[in-house]
Copies of this chain bind each other. A is one copy, B any other.
Amino acid sequence: MQSPGDTLQIDAHGRLKHFLSIEGLNRELLVNILDTAESFAGVGERAVKKVPLLRGKTIVNLFFEPSTRTRTTFELAAKRLSADVLNISATTSSTTKGESLLDTLRTLEAMHCDMFIVRHAESGAAHFIARHAAPHISVINGGDGRHAHPTQAMLDMFTIRRQKGDFSSLKVAIVGDVAHSRVARSQIHALVTLGAAEVRIVAPRTLVPPGIQSMGVSVHHDLRSGLRDTDVVILLRLQNERMQGALLPSSHEYFQYYGVTEEKLATAASDAIVMHPGPLNRGVEIDSDVADGARSVILRQVSYGIAIRMAVMSMAIGSHAAADRGDD
Protein backbone atom coordinates (compact mmCIF):
# COMPACT_ATOMS: atom_id res chain seq x y z
CA MET A 1 0.00 0.00 0.00
CA GLN A 2 1.28 3.42 -0.90
CA SER A 3 0.70 6.43 1.28
CA PRO A 4 -1.67 9.10 -0.07
CA GLY A 5 1.23 11.27 -1.22
CA ASP A 6 2.30 8.63 -3.72
CA THR A 7 -0.41 9.29 -6.21
CA LEU A 8 1.97 11.76 -7.78
CA GLN A 9 4.79 9.24 -8.31
CA ILE A 10 2.73 6.07 -8.72
CA ASP A 11 -0.10 5.44 -11.16
CA ALA A 12 -3.35 3.60 -10.43
CA HIS A 13 -1.71 0.27 -11.30
CA GLY A 14 1.23 0.79 -8.94
CA ARG A 15 3.67 1.68 -11.72
CA LEU A 16 6.37 4.35 -11.33
CA LYS A 17 5.20 7.44 -13.27
CA HIS A 18 7.60 10.06 -11.90
CA PHE A 19 10.70 9.54 -9.73
CA LEU A 20 10.85 12.47 -7.33
CA SER A 21 11.73 11.19 -3.87
CA ILE A 22 12.16 7.92 -2.01
CA GLU A 23 9.64 9.15 0.52
CA GLY A 24 6.28 7.62 -0.28
CA LEU A 25 7.60 4.67 -2.30
CA ASN A 26 7.10 1.24 -0.75
CA ARG A 27 9.57 -1.58 -0.43
CA GLU A 28 8.20 -3.53 -3.38
CA LEU A 29 8.73 -0.62 -5.72
CA LEU A 30 12.28 0.05 -4.50
CA VAL A 31 13.12 -3.63 -4.98
CA ASN A 32 11.58 -3.45 -8.45
CA ILE A 33 13.90 -0.53 -9.31
CA LEU A 34 16.91 -2.48 -8.01
CA ASP A 35 15.92 -5.58 -9.98
CA THR A 36 15.42 -3.55 -13.17
CA ALA A 37 18.83 -1.90 -12.69
CA GLU A 38 20.33 -5.37 -12.34
CA SER A 39 19.24 -6.09 -15.91
CA PHE A 40 21.06 -2.96 -17.13
CA ALA A 41 24.24 -3.39 -15.06
CA GLY A 42 25.85 -5.52 -17.74
CA VAL A 43 25.15 -3.15 -20.64
CA GLY A 44 28.14 -0.93 -19.79
CA GLU A 45 30.48 -3.88 -20.18
CA ARG A 46 29.27 -4.98 -23.59
CA ALA A 47 31.07 -4.10 -26.81
CA VAL A 48 27.92 -2.30 -27.97
CA LYS A 49 26.73 -0.38 -24.90
CA LYS A 50 23.23 0.34 -26.21
CA VAL A 51 19.76 -1.12 -25.96
CA PRO A 52 16.93 0.13 -28.20
CA LEU A 53 14.34 0.52 -25.40
CA LEU A 54 13.77 4.27 -25.67
CA ARG A 55 14.53 4.77 -29.35
CA GLY A 56 12.57 7.73 -30.71
CA LYS A 57 11.89 9.14 -27.23
CA THR A 58 13.01 12.67 -26.37
CA ILE A 59 14.55 13.25 -22.94
CA VAL A 60 15.27 16.79 -21.75
CA ASN A 61 17.96 17.59 -19.21
CA LEU A 62 16.29 20.66 -17.67
CA PHE A 63 19.00 22.01 -15.41
CA PHE A 64 18.24 25.15 -13.40
CA GLU A 65 21.47 24.61 -11.46
CA PRO A 66 24.67 23.56 -13.22
CA SER A 67 26.00 20.06 -12.50
CA THR A 68 28.25 18.55 -15.15
CA ARG A 69 28.53 15.25 -13.29
CA THR A 70 24.81 14.61 -12.84
CA ARG A 71 23.97 15.88 -16.33
CA THR A 72 26.61 13.55 -17.77
CA THR A 73 25.25 10.43 -16.02
CA PHE A 74 21.69 11.07 -17.16
CA GLU A 75 22.84 11.91 -20.70
CA LEU A 76 24.85 8.69 -20.88
CA ALA A 77 21.98 6.61 -19.46
CA ALA A 78 19.56 8.13 -22.00
CA LYS A 79 21.91 7.56 -24.93
CA ARG A 80 22.53 3.94 -23.91
CA LEU A 81 18.75 3.51 -23.98
CA SER A 82 18.88 4.99 -27.55
CA ALA A 83 16.82 8.07 -26.64
CA ASP A 84 17.42 11.53 -28.11
CA VAL A 85 18.70 13.99 -25.49
CA LEU A 86 18.26 17.77 -25.30
CA ASN A 87 20.40 19.69 -22.81
CA ILE A 88 18.76 22.90 -21.62
CA SER A 89 20.44 25.16 -19.08
CA ALA A 90 17.62 27.20 -17.64
CA THR A 91 18.80 30.20 -15.71
CA THR A 92 16.92 30.61 -12.48
CA SER A 93 16.26 34.29 -13.10
CA SER A 94 14.25 33.90 -16.28
CA THR A 95 12.17 30.81 -15.65
CA THR A 96 11.42 30.09 -12.02
CA LYS A 97 8.91 32.85 -11.48
CA GLY A 98 5.48 31.17 -11.44
CA GLU A 99 3.82 31.26 -14.81
CA SER A 100 7.03 31.74 -16.74
CA LEU A 101 8.26 28.29 -15.62
CA LEU A 102 4.90 26.80 -16.56
CA ASP A 103 5.13 28.32 -20.02
CA THR A 104 8.54 26.68 -20.43
CA LEU A 105 6.99 23.32 -19.47
CA ARG A 106 4.03 23.77 -21.79
CA THR A 107 6.38 24.59 -24.67
CA LEU A 108 8.56 21.51 -24.14
CA GLU A 109 5.44 19.34 -23.82
CA ALA A 110 4.08 20.74 -27.09
CA MET A 111 7.34 19.64 -28.75
CA HIS A 112 6.37 16.09 -27.72
CA CYS A 113 9.21 15.62 -25.26
CA ASP A 114 8.71 12.51 -23.11
CA MET A 115 10.73 13.12 -19.96
CA PHE A 116 12.25 15.96 -17.97
CA ILE A 117 15.31 15.39 -15.78
CA VAL A 118 15.06 18.31 -13.36
CA ARG A 119 17.92 19.76 -11.34
CA HIS A 120 17.04 22.79 -9.24
CA ALA A 121 18.48 24.72 -6.28
CA GLU A 122 15.06 24.96 -4.62
CA SER A 123 13.57 22.13 -2.60
CA GLY A 124 10.30 20.89 -4.11
CA ALA A 125 10.99 22.09 -7.64
CA ALA A 126 10.78 18.61 -9.19
CA HIS A 127 7.48 17.90 -7.41
CA PHE A 128 6.12 21.25 -8.60
CA ILE A 129 7.03 20.42 -12.18
CA ALA A 130 5.61 16.89 -11.95
CA ARG A 131 2.33 18.23 -10.54
CA HIS A 132 1.99 20.66 -13.44
CA ALA A 133 3.32 18.49 -16.28
CA ALA A 134 1.09 17.06 -18.98
CA PRO A 135 -0.02 13.42 -18.49
CA HIS A 136 2.38 12.10 -21.13
CA ILE A 137 5.45 13.53 -19.36
CA SER A 138 7.61 11.77 -16.76
CA VAL A 139 9.72 13.80 -14.36
CA ILE A 140 12.90 12.52 -12.73
CA ASN A 141 14.38 14.48 -9.85
CA GLY A 142 18.09 15.02 -10.46
CA GLY A 143 18.50 16.83 -7.14
CA ASP A 144 16.42 19.64 -5.67
CA GLY A 145 17.73 21.97 -2.97
CA ARG A 146 18.30 20.16 0.31
CA HIS A 147 15.32 17.97 -0.31
CA ALA A 148 16.09 14.85 -2.30
CA HIS A 149 18.41 13.18 -4.78
CA PRO A 150 16.63 9.88 -5.22
CA THR A 151 18.67 8.36 -8.07
CA GLN A 152 21.81 8.87 -5.96
CA ALA A 153 20.14 7.11 -3.02
CA MET A 154 19.01 4.20 -5.21
CA LEU A 155 22.45 3.71 -6.72
CA ASP A 156 23.74 3.56 -3.15
CA MET A 157 21.12 0.90 -2.32
CA PHE A 158 22.07 -1.01 -5.47
CA THR A 159 25.73 -0.92 -4.43
CA ILE A 160 24.90 -2.15 -0.92
CA ARG A 161 22.72 -5.00 -2.20
CA ARG A 162 25.39 -6.08 -4.69
CA GLN A 163 28.08 -6.10 -1.98
CA LYS A 164 26.07 -7.33 1.00
CA GLY A 165 23.10 -9.22 -0.45
CA ASP A 166 20.45 -8.48 2.12
CA PHE A 167 19.55 -5.33 4.08
CA SER A 168 17.92 -6.93 7.15
CA SER A 169 21.11 -7.60 9.07
CA LEU A 170 22.97 -4.42 8.11
CA LYS A 171 24.20 -1.65 10.37
CA VAL A 172 24.73 1.50 8.27
CA ALA A 173 26.40 4.77 9.28
CA ILE A 174 25.89 7.99 7.33
CA VAL A 175 28.75 10.33 8.19
CA GLY A 176 28.98 14.07 7.64
CA ASP A 177 26.94 17.14 6.83
CA VAL A 178 23.46 15.64 7.06
CA ALA A 179 21.87 19.04 7.64
CA HIS A 180 22.69 20.39 4.20
CA SER A 181 22.59 17.14 2.25
CA ARG A 182 19.96 16.35 -0.37
CA VAL A 183 21.38 12.83 -0.54
CA ALA A 184 21.21 11.93 3.16
CA ARG A 185 17.43 12.33 3.47
CA SER A 186 16.89 10.11 0.43
CA GLN A 187 19.36 7.51 1.75
CA ILE A 188 17.69 7.33 5.16
CA HIS A 189 14.25 6.83 3.59
CA ALA A 190 15.58 4.11 1.31
CA LEU A 191 17.48 2.25 4.05
CA VAL A 192 14.53 2.32 6.44
CA THR A 193 12.10 1.20 3.71
CA LEU A 194 14.39 -1.62 2.60
CA GLY A 195 14.60 -2.81 6.21
CA ALA A 196 18.16 -2.07 7.28
CA ALA A 197 18.72 -3.30 10.86
CA GLU A 198 20.16 0.01 12.05
CA VAL A 199 20.79 3.43 10.50
CA ARG A 200 23.08 5.87 12.30
CA ILE A 201 23.90 9.49 11.65
CA VAL A 202 27.43 10.53 12.61
CA ALA A 203 28.02 14.29 12.57
CA PRO A 204 28.92 17.31 14.68
CA ARG A 205 25.96 18.85 16.50
CA THR A 206 25.86 21.82 14.12
CA LEU A 207 25.35 19.55 11.11
CA VAL A 208 22.51 17.38 12.47
CA PRO A 209 19.05 18.60 11.45
CA PRO A 210 16.60 18.91 14.36
CA GLY A 211 14.14 16.01 14.73
CA ILE A 212 16.12 13.66 12.48
CA GLN A 213 15.51 10.83 14.99
CA SER A 214 11.88 10.72 13.88
CA MET A 215 13.10 9.27 10.58
CA GLY A 216 14.21 6.14 12.43
CA VAL A 217 17.89 6.85 12.89
CA SER A 218 20.17 7.17 15.91
CA VAL A 219 22.57 10.09 16.21
CA HIS A 220 26.27 9.87 17.10
CA HIS A 221 28.72 12.70 17.53
CA ASP A 222 31.83 10.55 17.97
CA LEU A 223 33.14 8.95 14.78
CA ARG A 224 34.79 5.89 16.35
CA SER A 225 31.73 4.88 18.36
CA GLY A 226 29.46 5.79 15.43
CA LEU A 227 31.32 3.42 13.13
CA ARG A 228 31.52 0.57 15.66
CA ASP A 229 30.37 -2.73 14.10
CA THR A 230 28.91 -1.06 11.01
CA ASP A 231 28.73 -3.00 7.75
CA VAL A 232 28.29 0.03 5.51
CA VAL A 233 29.87 3.47 5.94
CA ILE A 234 28.35 6.17 3.73
CA LEU A 235 30.29 9.43 3.66
CA LEU A 236 28.74 12.71 2.59
CA ARG A 237 30.56 15.39 0.67
CA LEU A 238 31.37 18.46 2.76
CA GLN A 239 30.43 21.56 0.78
CA ASN A 240 33.28 24.04 0.98
CA GLU A 241 30.97 26.95 1.54
CA ARG A 242 29.85 25.44 4.87
CA MET A 243 33.31 25.89 6.26
CA GLN A 244 33.33 29.62 5.75
CA GLY A 245 30.42 30.16 8.11
CA ALA A 246 30.17 29.59 11.83
CA LEU A 247 29.07 25.95 11.55
CA LEU A 248 32.52 24.46 11.26
CA PRO A 249 35.93 25.55 12.48
CA SER A 250 38.15 24.52 9.51
CA SER A 251 38.56 21.69 7.05
CA HIS A 252 41.69 20.65 8.91
CA GLU A 253 39.85 20.38 12.21
CA TYR A 254 36.90 18.63 10.50
CA PHE A 255 39.25 16.00 9.15
CA GLN A 256 40.74 15.53 12.63
CA TYR A 257 37.37 14.65 14.17
CA TYR A 258 35.19 13.40 11.29
CA GLY A 259 37.53 12.58 8.42
CA VAL A 260 37.44 8.82 7.86
CA THR A 261 40.90 7.23 8.05
CA GLU A 262 41.90 3.56 8.12
CA GLU A 263 42.66 3.95 11.80
CA LYS A 264 39.22 5.35 12.68
CA LEU A 265 37.59 2.76 10.44
CA ALA A 266 39.07 0.04 12.64
CA THR A 267 35.96 -0.08 14.84
CA ALA A 268 33.75 -1.00 11.84
CA ALA A 269 33.18 -4.61 10.77
CA SER A 270 36.24 -6.06 9.09
CA ASP A 271 34.33 -6.43 5.80
CA ALA A 272 32.65 -3.03 5.97
CA ILE A 273 32.32 -1.14 2.69
CA VAL A 274 32.96 2.62 2.31
CA MET A 275 30.79 4.75 0.02
CA HIS A 276 30.86 8.40 -1.12
CA PRO A 277 28.70 10.18 -3.75
CA GLY A 278 31.69 12.11 -5.18
CA PRO A 279 33.39 14.32 -5.96
CA LEU A 280 35.79 13.55 -3.11
CA ASN A 281 37.32 16.13 -0.82
CA ARG A 282 40.40 14.09 0.00
CA GLY A 283 41.86 15.05 3.36
CA VAL A 284 38.55 16.60 4.47
CA GLU A 285 35.82 13.99 4.84
CA ILE A 286 37.94 11.07 3.62
CA ASP A 287 41.57 10.05 3.72
CA SER A 288 43.08 8.91 0.42
CA ASP A 289 44.10 5.58 1.97
CA VAL A 290 40.41 4.85 2.55
CA ALA A 291 39.16 6.29 -0.75
CA ASP A 292 41.58 4.14 -2.75
CA GLY A 293 41.59 1.19 -0.32
CA ALA A 294 40.17 -2.32 -0.60
CA ARG A 295 36.96 -1.48 1.25
CA SER A 296 36.08 1.49 -0.97
CA VAL A 297 33.27 0.85 -3.47
CA ILE A 298 33.14 4.48 -4.61
CA LEU A 299 33.84 3.79 -8.29
CA ARG A 300 31.34 0.93 -8.38
CA GLN A 301 28.75 3.47 -7.22
CA VAL A 302 29.49 5.51 -10.34
CA SER A 303 29.06 2.48 -12.63
CA TYR A 304 25.87 1.41 -10.93
CA GLY A 305 24.59 4.98 -11.19
CA ILE A 306 24.22 4.57 -14.96
CA ALA A 307 22.26 1.32 -14.48
CA ILE A 308 19.93 2.89 -11.88
CA ARG A 309 19.23 5.86 -14.13
CA MET A 310 18.53 3.56 -17.07
CA ALA A 311 16.15 1.64 -14.80
CA VAL A 312 14.06 4.56 -13.56
CA MET A 313 13.98 6.18 -17.01
CA SER A 314 12.74 3.04 -18.72
CA MET A 315 10.25 2.24 -15.93
CA ALA A 316 8.77 5.74 -15.94
CA ILE A 317 8.41 5.94 -19.73
CA GLY A 318 7.18 2.34 -19.73
CA SER A 319 4.35 3.27 -17.35
CA HIS A 320 3.05 5.75 -19.92
CA ALA A 321 3.34 3.21 -22.72
CA ALA A 322 1.44 0.68 -20.59
CA ALA A 323 -1.24 3.28 -19.82
CA ASP A 324 -1.54 4.08 -23.54
CA ARG A 325 -2.07 0.41 -24.31
CA GLY A 326 -4.65 0.20 -21.52
CA ASP A 327 -2.62 -2.39 -19.58
CA ASP A 328 -3.58 -3.08 -16.01
Q: A44-B111, A45-B112, A72-B86 are in contact. Are A103 and B279 (CB under 8 A)?
A: yes
Would you give the shortest CB distance from A91 to chain B, in whole angstroms? Answer: 10
Give the residues in chain B near A321, CB-CB below 8 Å: 47
Contact A50-B55, Cβ < 8 Å, known A300-B110, A303-B112: yes
A295 interface contact, C-beta 8 A: no
Q: Which of B79, B112, B278 contacts A107 (CB 8 A)?
A: B278
Q: Do residues A76 and B56 form an inter-chain contact, with CB atoms below 8 A?
A: no
A269 at interface, CB cutoff 8 A: no
**Contact between chains at A49 and B112 (CB < 8 Å):** yes
Contacting residues of chain A (249-279) with chain B, CB-CB under 8 angstroms? 278-279
Q: How many of chain A's residues have a CB under 8 angstroms from any CB in B? A: 46
* Minimal Cβ-Cβ distance residue in B for A281: B100
* Given known A56-B48, A88-B68, contact A73–B110 (CB-CB < 8 A): no
Name the distance in Å between A317's Cβ and chain B's nearest Cβ: 10
Please name the residue on chain B nearest to A90 by beta carbon: B68
Query: Please, which residue of chain B has its CB at the minimum distance from the CB of A288?
Result: B99
- Bound Cα distance A88, B305 (Å): 18
> A304 — nearest CB in chain B belongs to which residue?
B110
> Are A69 and B278 in touch, CB under 8 angstroms?
no
Q: Does A57 contact B (CB under 8 A)?
A: yes
A310 CB to nearest B CB, Å: 12
Contact A99 to B282, CB < 8 A, known contacts A58-B76, A86-B75: yes
Smallest CB gap from A91: residue in B: B68
Please report the C-alpha to C-alpha distance between residue A104 and residue B302 in the assembled complex, in whole angstroms: 11
Q: What's the least CB distance linking A81 to chain B, in Å?
A: 11
What residues on B are CB-neighbors of A302 within 8 Å? 106-107, 110-111
- Whether B112 pairs with A69 at a CB distance below 8 angstroms is no
Residue of chain B at shortest CB distance from A104? B279
A10 within 8 A of B: no
Residues on A close to B: CB < 8 A? 44-50, 55-58, 68-69, 72-73, 75-76, 79-80, 84, 86, 88-89, 99-100, 103-104, 106-107, 109-112, 278-280, 282, 288, 299-300, 302-303, 305-306, 321, 324
